[in-house]
A and B are shown apart, each in its own frame.
Chain A
Amino acid sequence: MSNINYLELCVDCVKKAVGLGAEWCDVSAGTGRDISVTIEKSGIKAADAGQGEDLAIRVYVRGGMGYAAVSGRDRRDISEAVERAVALAKEATPDPDFKRLPAPEAAPEVEGLFDDQIAGMSVGDAVRIAAANLEAGKRLEPEANLSGHVGLSVGEGAFASSTGVALSSRATDIGVDLEALLKPGGDRGHFFDFDFGRFLEDCRLDDVATSAVLGARRFLGAKRIKSGRMTLVLGPLASYGFLGGIVGAANAESIQRGRSYLCDRFGEVIASPHLTIVDDGLIPRGLHSGAHDGEGTRRRPLTVIDRGRLVSLLHNSYTAGKACTESTGHGTHSGGIGPTNIRPALGERPAAEILREVKEGIYLECGELRADPASGDISASIDFGFLIRDGQLVYPVESAMIGGNIFDLLAHLDAVSSDAREEPGILMPTLRLQDVQIAGAE
C-alpha cells in the first residue's frame, strides 16, 4: 500500500522526541485509502476517493502532555510536529498523577481485521453494491426515495513508544448505510438500515435498501399519543445506544474527576440483576477489535456491569496510574478513554415473547436515549417508536418524549431478550423497562 515503513518512522520520531527532552513518548502513524459512493434521490450522485497519511506524537514532561498531529508525508512537517509536541509538553503544568506509559506486552493477534478481498476492491465494486441496493429497493417500492452511502477503507499503521512498545497493524472495513423515505398522500414513512464489517463475507451489503424500505413502510401513519407512565421496550438499535452510553460513562477519568453520574457508584448495584455487560475488544472480526488499545496496552475482555453491579471502570494508562491499578486497554492515543465491542449478556426469552407481555407501552426502534453525563437525567425524543397495546405494535408515534433518570430506568429493567441483532463483535438485544414517563402530544 505504501513504501514507507511506518514502524521505523514511529521509532525515529520517538528517538528524536527523547533527544529533545521527552520523558515519555509514543507515536502512531499510518496510511489509509477510502472510497465512498453517495446515493441520493434513488440514484448515484457522486463517487469520492481519498488517500492520506497521518502521524501523531504524544509527549510527557513531568506529567504534562504535549500532542501534535500532522497529515501527509512531508518530513519537515513531521519533524516540526515532534518538536512542537515536546515544546508543548514542557509548557504544560507538571502532573504528579501521571505515572508511566504502558510497557511492551505481548498479545495474541486478533483474527480477521484485514480482508484481502476488501483491500482489492475498486470504486466499480462499490458502485455495483450501490446499484444492487437501488435495484432491490426500487423493486420492492418503486416510489421509495433512497439515499445514503457505500464506503470502504483500507489502512495500515504502526505504533512505537519510549517504553519499547513497537506494533504494526492492518485493517479493512466496508459498509452500507441507507435511508428510505416514502411519501404516499402527504404521509411520511422514514427509516434506515446499515451493515458494516471488517470482512466482506460477514456482510449482507446488498440487502440494506430492502430493509430500509420495509422499515419506512412501518413508520407510515404516525399518530400522537397521550402522556403517561408505561412500559418502554428498546429494540436492538435503541438498546445499543442506551447501553453504549452507560459503558461510556464508566470512563475512569470522568469518575476520578468527579463529573460523572457514576461517581461513588463503583462496586454498587446500579441496575436490575438482568443487566450484565462485557466490553470485549478481542472478538475476531469485531468492528472495534484490536490486540492493543491506542496506547499499546493489551486489550482484554472486561465485565463492566455484573448482574446490575458496576464492577469495572474503563481505564487508560493515566487513570490506571492515578488509581494504582492496571489499564484495562481502553486508552486512545490522544489521552481519552473509549469502549470497544459491547456485549450484553442475553436473557432467557426471545424478544417477541417479552413484547407480547406488554399491556401498554412504547417500542423504541431507534433513538438517542442519552443521559446527561453529570446528572444522569434523560430527556429524549422518541425518534422512531411505536405504541404497544396488548403485546402488539399498534402504530408509529410522533411528537413524544421520554423523561427520567438513568438509575430509575436501569432499576426498572425487567427483561433482556435471548435473541439479538449481531454486528461484527457487537450484540444488540431487546430490553424492557417498566414504568417510564412518556410525554405525548395528544
Chain B
Amino acid sequence: MEELARYLCDLAKQRGAEFADVRVLHRRAESILVQDGRADKLAASTDRGVGVRVLVGRCWGFASADSLERSRGEQCVDDALALARASQEFVSDPAMIAEAAPVVAEDRRPPEIAPGAMPVKEKIARLLEYEHSGRAAGGQAVVNSIVSYSDGMREEVLANTAGTLIRTAGARAVVTCLFVASDGTIRQRGMEHRGILGGAEILRRTDPEPFSVAAARKALALLKARPAPAGRFAVIFHPSITGLLVHEALGHNAEADAVWAGQSILEGRLGEELAPPAVSIYDDSTVPGAFGSYAYDSEGTPGRRRPVIEKGRLVGFLHSLETAAKFKAAPTGSGRAESYDCRPIVRMSNTFMERGTVPLEEMLRGVERGIYLMDGHWGYVFVQKGQFICHAGQARMIERGRLGDMLRDVSISSMTLDTLRKIDAVGDDFEMKMPGLCGKEGQSAPTDCGGPHVRVGDVIVGGHAEE
C-alpha cells in the first residue's frame, strides 16, 4: 500500500500536478442483527481501493478505483489530471493548499478485541442477552425488539507530494438496541446506542441494565407520556440535546468550507461575542476512545482540540489544508474522507460544550413553565440561514421549577445565533454519549457530541396543541 501511494504521488507530480495526495485504503466490517429472539441477518463487507486528488492550476481533480492494481492507480492519476484541467475555465475561486510540514508517521491502534477475534457465536450470545434482558424489563408490552452490532477495521496509507507518508490502522464498533412497546392503542420506541474507537470489547463493557433494559423501560414509560404542547417555551437541554445543538446548530456553521463559500451564518463574525461568557465549545479529535477521534485526518494533519467558542466569543473555525490556506489560518486536522472514493472535506470530530457551574436543580428552579428535553435522537441544519432542528425522544414538562408530566416525540427548531444568545445557564455536569455518523455532501464521518445540561430562554416546540 505504501509503495503504491508513493509511486502514484510521484507520477502525479511528474505529469503536472502542483500538489497531489493519494489514499490507499482497505476496510473490513461485519454486522449482526438480532430481532425478536433470533440472529437473523449476519453480514460482512470488504472494500479496498485508491483515491488520487490533484491540484492543477486553479482546480481540483479527483479519481478513484476499487483496486490496488498499479495500472488502475495510474489511470486514476491521468483521470484526476484530466478532470482538473477540464474545469479550469469555469473556476471562480482558485483552489489552494496550505503549506504544511511533511509528516511521516504510523498510528496503529489495535482494539482490545479485534473484530474477528471474538467468535460470531459469542457476539450473538451477548446480543441475545441484551434482548432478553430488555424483553424481561418490558414484559408483554414489548412487541418488537432489535439489537444490532457492527464492527470494522480500517487500514489506510496517505501520501502527498509534500512528503507526507502516514500509515494508520484502527477499528470502530457500534451496538444499538430498539424496543417497541404497545398498549394496544399507541406504539412507542426506546433506543440506546453505544459506539467506541475499538473493537468487540464494547460488548464486554456494555452491561444490559443501562443499555437494553433502559431502552425497554423508556418505551414503556413513553406509553404513558402525553404529546408535547406547541409554542414558545423555556427549555432545559439534556447533554444529548446539548450535543445536537453544538453539532448541528453551531458545528456545521463553523466548518470553514461553508464559511469560505459564503454559506455559513458565521461568515465575518470571527471575534464576535455570540453567547454568554459561560459558553465554550470545542471540537476535539484527541478524546481518548471517543467515537469521533483520530490521530491524523485524511490530509495528514494531526488531530487536535479546536476552540470554536471560548467564553462566548467565536474564536475559530474547523480547517482543511485548503480552507487554512484561504483563511491564512493553521490547518486544524479537520479534512476527513469517508473512504478512498471520496475527496476530503471539512468535518467535525467530537464536538462539545464545556461544563459550567450551575447544578440541574438550580436550573429547574429558575423555570416557571417549560420543557426538559432528553434523549437526543437526530437533528439537521440549514447553515445558509442558521436554522436548525433537534429531535428529542422524550421530554418532561417543567412546572414551577419541578419536573412534571412525561412528553413524547418532540422536536424544537430555532435560529442558531438566537439560541446561543438565549443560553442563560450552563450545567456543572458533562456527558458525551452520542456516537453516530454525520452526513455531509454524501459522505458520512464518525462523530460524537455532548456537553452539560443547558438552559435556553425560549425556543419553538413543535407540539400537538397550544395550552
Residues of A within 8 A of B (CB): 37, 40-54, 63-74, 77, 80-81, 84-85, 88-89, 91-95, 123-124, 127, 130-131, 134, 145, 147, 179, 181, 183, 188, 190, 222, 227-228, 257-261, 263, 334-335, 368, 372-375, 377-383, 398-405, 437-441
CA–CA, A291 and B229, complex, Å: 47
Counting contact residues on chain B (CB < 8 A from A), the size range is 35 or more
CA–CA, A73 and B89, complex, Å: 36
Any chain A CB within 8 A of the CB of B278? Answer: no
Any chain A CB within 8 A of the CB of B59? Answer: yes
Q: A54-B66, A68-B44, A93-B39 are known contacts; what are 16 more A-B pairs with Cβ within 8 Å?
A: A46-B83, A51-B65, A53-B66, A71-B49, A188-B384, A257-B36, A258-B143, A375-B409, A379-B391, A379-B463, A380-B411, A381-B389, A381-B411, A381-B413, A383-B387, A401-B412
CA–CA, A44 and B59, complex, Å: 8
CA–CA, A82 and B413, complex, Å: 48
* B42 nearest CB neighbor, chain A only: A88
Q: Is the CB of A65 within 8 A of B41?
A: yes
Stretch from B179-187, B355-363, B432-440 contacting the other chain: B179-187
Any chain A CB within 8 A of the CB of B188? Answer: yes
Q: Is the CB of B227 within 8 A of A48?
A: no
Within the complex, the shortest CB–CB distance from A217 to chain B, in Å, comes to: 14
Contacts of A188 in B (CB 8 A): 265, 384-385
Contacts of B37 in A (CB 8 A): 93
Contacts of B456 in A (CB 8 A): none
Interface digits, B48-63 against A, CB 8 Å rule (1 contact, 0 not)?
A: 1100000000011111
Within the complex, the shortest CB–CB distance from B165 to chain A, in Å, comes to: 24
CA–CA, A124 and B88, complex, Å: 11
Contacts of A439 in B (CB 8 A): 230-232, 460-463, 466
Contacts of A80 in B (CB 8 A): 46
Within the complex, the shortest CB–CB distance from B443 to chain A, in Å, comes to: 12
Within the complex, the shortest CB–CB distance from B346 to chain A, in Å, comes to: 12
CA–CA, A136 and B186, complex, Å: 52
Contacts of A64 in B (CB 8 A): 38-40, 42
Q: Is the CB of A92 within 8 A of B411?
A: no
Any chain A CB within 8 A of the CB of B277? Answer: no
* B47 nearest CB neighbor, chain A only: A71
3 smallest CB-CB distances across A and B, nearest first, come from A43-B92, A401-B462, A258-B143
Contacts of B89 in A (CB 8 A): 131
Within the complex, the shortest CB–CB distance from B90 to chain A, in Å, comes to: 4
Residue in B42, B263, B466 whose beta carbon sits within 8 Å of that of A92 in the complex: B42
CA–CA, A12 and B256, complex, Å: 50
CA–CA, A85 and B44, complex, Å: 7
Q: Given the interface contacts A72-B49, A91-B120, A123-B86, does A66 sit within 8 Å of B42 by beta carbon?
A: yes
Q: Is the CB of B91 within 8 A of A227?
A: no
Contacts of A54 in B (CB 8 A): 66
Q: Is the CB of B384 within 8 A of A181?
A: yes
Contacts of A74 in B (CB 8 A): 67
Residue in B43, B45, B87 whose beta carbon sits within 8 Å of that of A66 in the complex: B43
CA–CA, A403 and B411, complex, Å: 9
Q: Is the CB of B40 within 8 A of A92?
A: yes
Some 20 contacts from A to B, beta carbons below 8 A apart, are A43-B93, A45-B59, A50-B64, A52-B66, A72-B48, A73-B67, A88-B42, A88-B43, A93-B38, A123-B83, A222-B385, A258-B180, A259-B143, A259-B178, A377-B227, A383-B387, A400-B460, A401-B412, A439-B461, A441-B414
Within the complex, the shortest CB–CB distance from A309 to chain B, in Å, comes to: 21
Contacts of B315 in A (CB 8 A): none
CA–CA, A47 and B89, complex, Å: 13
Q: Is the CB of B91 within 8 A of A372?
A: no
Contacts of A134 in B (CB 8 A): 90
CA–CA, A6 and B47, complex, Å: 19
CA–CA, A403 and B265, complex, Å: 27
Q: Is the CB of B48 within 8 A of A95?
A: no
Any chain A CB within 8 A of the CB of B82? Answer: yes
Within the complex, the shortest CB–CB distance from A242 to chain B, in Å, comes to: 15
Contacts of A44 in B (CB 8 A): 59, 87, 90-92
Within the complex, the shortest CB–CB distance from A42 to chain B, in Å, comes to: 6
Q: Is the CB of A401 within 8 A of B60?
A: no
Residues of B within 8 A of A (CB): 35-49, 59-67, 79-80, 82-84, 86-87, 89-93, 95, 120-121, 124, 143-144, 178, 180, 182, 186-189, 227-228, 230-232, 257, 260-263, 265, 341, 343, 380, 382, 384-385, 387, 389, 391, 408-415, 418, 460-466
Residue in A49, A124, A228, A403 whose beta carbon sits within 8 Å of that of B228 in the complex: A403
Give the number of A-B contacts (CB < 8 Å): 274
Within the complex, the shortest CB–CB distance from A333 to chain B, in Å, comes to: 11
Residue in B62, B67, B189 whose beta carbon sits within 8 Å of that of A46 in the complex: B62
Residue in B42, B62, B382 whose beta carbon sits within 8 Å of that of A65 in the complex: B42
Contacts of B91 in A (CB 8 A): 43-45
Q: Given the interface contacts A43-B92, A258-B182, does A377 sit within 8 Å of B409 by beta carbon?
A: yes
Contacts of A373 in B (CB 8 A): 189
Residue in A50, A94, A260, A401 whose beta carbon sits within 8 Å of that of B411 in the complex: A401
Q: Given the interface contacts A52-B49, A91-B42, A93-B38, does A127 sit within 8 Å of B61 by beta carbon?
A: no
Q: Is the CB of B186 within 8 A of A190?
A: no
Q: Is the CB of A70 within 8 A of B45?
A: yes
Contacts of A70 in B (CB 8 A): 45-47
Contacts of B80 in A (CB 8 A): 49
Q: Is the CB of B144 within 8 A of A257?
A: yes
B79, B95, B120, B385 interface centre (most CB from chain A within 10 Å): B385
Contacts of B64 in A (CB 8 A): 48-52
Q: Given the interface contacts A44-B59, A403-B463, does A68 sit within 8 Å of B45 by beta carbon?
A: yes
Contacts of B418 in A (CB 8 A): 399
A68, A334, A399 interface centre (most CB from chain B within 10 Å): A399
Contacts of A92 in B (CB 8 A): 38-42
Within the complex, the shortest CB–CB distance from A204 to chain B, in Å, comes to: 20
Within the complex, the shortest CB–CB distance from B199 to chain A, in Å, comes to: 18
CA–CA, A435 and B151, complex, Å: 47
Contacts of B343 in A (CB 8 A): 46, 48
Contacts of A441 in B (CB 8 A): 232, 414, 460
CA–CA, A81 and B35, complex, Å: 24
Residue in A37, A85, A94, A260 whose beta carbon sits within 8 Å of that of B87 in the complex: A37
CA–CA, A335 and B33, complex, Å: 12
Residue in A123, A130, A379 whose beta carbon sits within 8 Å of that of B462 in the complex: A379
Q: Given the interface contacts A257-B36, A441-B460, does A334 sit within 8 Å of B43 by beta carbon?
A: yes
CA–CA, A188 and B383, complex, Å: 11
Q: Is the CB of A190 within 8 A of B92?
A: no
* A42 nearest CB neighbor, chain B only: B92
Q: Is the CB of A131 within 8 A of B90?
A: yes
Q: Is the CB of A77 within 8 A of B180?
A: no
CA–CA, A403 and B233, complex, Å: 15
Residue in B95, B180, B231 whose beta carbon sits within 8 Å of that of A259 in the complex: B180
Contacts of B380 in A (CB 8 A): 368
Contacts of A66 in B (CB 8 A): 42-43
Q: Given the interface contacts A37-B87, A227-B231, does A71 sit within 8 Å of B46 by beta carbon?
A: yes
Contacts of A260 in B (CB 8 A): 187
* B190 nearest CB neighbor, chain A only: A374
Q: Is the CB of B39 within 8 A of A127?
A: no
CA–CA, A383 and B382, complex, Å: 8
CA–CA, A53 and B37, complex, Å: 36
B66, B67, B124, B228 interface centre (most CB from chain A within 10 Å): B66
CA–CA, A257 and B40, complex, Å: 13
CA–CA, A188 and B120, complex, Å: 53
Q: Is the CB of A91 within 8 A of B124?
A: yes
Residue in B341, B461, B462 whose beta carbon sits within 8 Å of that of A50 in the complex: B341
Q: Given the interface contacts A74-B67, A379-B463, does A41 sit within 8 Å of B43 by beta carbon?
A: no
* A63 nearest CB neighbor, chain B only: B40
CA–CA, A37 and B40, complex, Å: 41
Q: Given the interface contacts A52-B341, A131-B90, does A67 sit within 8 Å of B43 by beta carbon?
A: yes
Q: Is the CB of B461 within 8 A of A401?
A: yes
